[in-house]
Structure 1
Amino acid sequence: MKSQFLIALVLVLLRSLMSCHGGVLLSTLPRTILVSASPQPGQVLKAGEDTMTVKWSFNQSVLTSQENETYKTIKATLCYAPVSQDDRAWRKTFNDLSKDKTCQFTIVEEPYAAADANNASARSFEWTIQKYVPTATYFVRAYAYDSDGIEKAYGQTTDEKKTADLFRIESISGRHASLEIAAGCFSAFALASLFGLFWAEKAKKK
C-alpha cells in the first residue's frame, strides 16, 4: 500500500511540475513546415470581403522519419505582426506557446497527410477573411501537432523577426451606404410624421 501511495504521490508531483513549467517553447520547435500565402507584401485586404490562399508543405531536407510519424494534425493560423502588438497586452508574443497570443485566428485545421519523397503532403486552402478579424498587420503561421495536441513543429510566411512579407487587413467599419440611406429615410419619415401629428392636433383643437 505504501509503495502504491508513493508512486501516486510522485505522479502528482510530476504533473504539478510540468504544469508549472508551462507549455512548449517556440524556440525549441523545428521549422519543418514551408508556408506561403497569396497576399503580397504590404497588400491591404478587407475583412468579410476578400479571400486569401494559404499553402503549406514539408521541408524534406530536415524532416525526419520520426517527426513524420509523430505529426497528426496541421493548423494554419493568422498572426499579429509586431507592429500591431505594441501596447496591446492581449496580442503579446511569448516563447511559451501556452501563453502566446500572437496567433489568435484559425484559418484551417485538418489531419496531417504524411510527407513523402514527392512532397504529396503539399496542401492549399482558400479562406474568406472573417468579419471579426480586426484591423492590423499580419502573417501566417502553421503548426504540426501530435496525437495529444502538443505542438511539434511550425513554419511561417515571415522571417524570424517577423518583419518581412507582411500584409494588412482592414476590418469592416459597420457602416454601409444602404444603411445610411435607410437611416436618412427613416429620420425624414419620423420628422414628417411628427409635423403631421402636430398639425392634426392643432386642427382638432380649432
Structure 2
Amino acid sequence: MAGRGGILLASLLILSCFADTSFGIVHFSSLKRTLVVTASPKTGQVLKAGDDKFTVTWGLNKTFPAGTDSAYKTIKLKLCYSPISQVERPWRKTEDELSRDKTCQFNIVTKPYSAANQSYEWIVEREVTLGTYFVRAYAYDSADAEVAFGQTTDAAKKTNLFDIIAISGRHTSLDIASICFSAFSILALIGFFWAEKRKGKSSK
C-alpha cells in the first residue's frame, strides 16, 4: 500500500506541473535574466509625471549561447516599483507568480523582439504615482507567456533607482478658468443689485 501511495503522490505532482504549464502559470524565479536593460535617469534623479521623459535601451546579453532567444517574439517594457515604494502597500506587492505580481504596474511599450539593441523614449504618463522606480523588460513567446527578463537594477532591486513625482491634479489653465468664473459671478451679482436698486428708484 505504501508503494501505491508513493506512486499516487508522484503522479499528482506530475499532473500539478502539467496543470501549471497548461494554464499559463509562470513564476518569476523560473525566468533567466538574458536581457540587458538600461535607462537614462541617473540614480536618485527626480522626474515629473506628465512632463518629463527618459530613454530605455534593451538587447540580448551576448554572453549567452546562440539560440537563447529563439522563442522570443515580443518585448514588453514596464515601469516597476522598488522595494522602498512597496512597504505597507499590499496593492504593490511582489509575487513570484507573475499573474499575481503587482511590482510592475505601468506599461512603457510593447515591441516585436529583435536581437539587435533597441531604444525607446517614453514620456512619463500622468497616471504614474509618487514613488521610486526601475525599468524591467519581459520577453514573451508566441503564446504570450513570459520566458525571460532583464532590468535596470540588481537582483535585490536597490541600485540604479530613480524617483517620480506624481502630478498634483490641478493645472494652471483650470486655476485661471476658476478665477475668471468667480470674477464674472461677482460682477454679475454687483450688476444685479445695481439694476434692482435703479429699478427701485425709478418706481418711486
Bin for the TM-score computed over the shorter chain: 0.7 to 0.9
| Aligned-partner residue type, residue 34 of structure 2 | T
Cα offset for 1:192?
1.6
Match of 2:10 in 1: none
Q: CA RMSD in A?
A: 2.2
Equivalence for 1:104: 105
After superposition, the Cα gap between the structure-2 partners of 1:111 and 1:22, relative to the gap in structure 1 and judged at 3 Å, is closer
2 CA distance for matches of 1:202 and 1:129? 56
Taking the aligned partners of 1:107 and 1:150, their CA distance within structure 2 comes to 18
Distance 1:70 1:29 in 2: 13
Measure how far apart 1:78 and its partner are: 0.5
Distance 2:121 2:139 in 1: 19
- What is the aligned partner in structure 1 of residue 198 from structure 2? 203
Q: 2: CA distance between counterparts of 1:168 and 1:85?
A: 13
Equivalent position amino acid for 1:157 in 2: T
Task: Kindly provide the CA deviation profile for residues 113-153 of structure 1, in whole angstroms up to 9, marking residues without a partner as x.
Answer: 2x3xxxxx111111111111112111000001110011111
Residue deviations 1:85-118 (CA, integer Å, cap 9, x gap): 12222211101101001111111111112x3xxx
Contact 1:32 1:63 in 2 (8 A): no
- Deviation, structure 1 residue 20: 10
- Structure 2 unmatched ranges of 5 or more: 1-14
Is residue 24–residue 145 contact of structure 2 (8 Å, CA) maintained in 1? Answer: no
Cα distance in 2 for residues equivalent to 1:81 and 1:141: 11
Q: Gapped runs of 5+ residues in structure 1? A: 1-12, 116-120
Select between 84-93 and 146-155 the one with higher mean Cα deviation.
84-93
SS in 1 for 2:185: helix
8 Å contact 1:22–1:96 — kept in the other structure? no
Given that 2:108 and 2:122 are in contact with CA atoms closer than 8 Å, whether structure 1 keeps it comes out as: yes
Q: After the TM superposition, which of the residue ranges 136-145 and 175-184 deviates more from structure 2?
A: 175-184
Match of 2:33 among 27, 31, 34: 31
SS of residue in 1 equivalent to 2:33: coil
**Number of aligned positions between the proteins:** 187
Q: Give the match for residue 85 of structure 2.
A: 84
Matched-pair identity in %: 54
CA distance in 2, matches of 1:16, 1:199: 83
Q: 1:157 aligns to what?
A: 152
Distance 1:68 1:60, change over 3 A: same
> 1:45 Cα deviation (Å)?
0.7
Residues 60-89 of structure 1 deviation map (CA, whole Å, 9 limit, x = unaligned): 212451x32111111111011111112222
The counterpart of 1:191, out of the listed 161, 186, 192, is 186
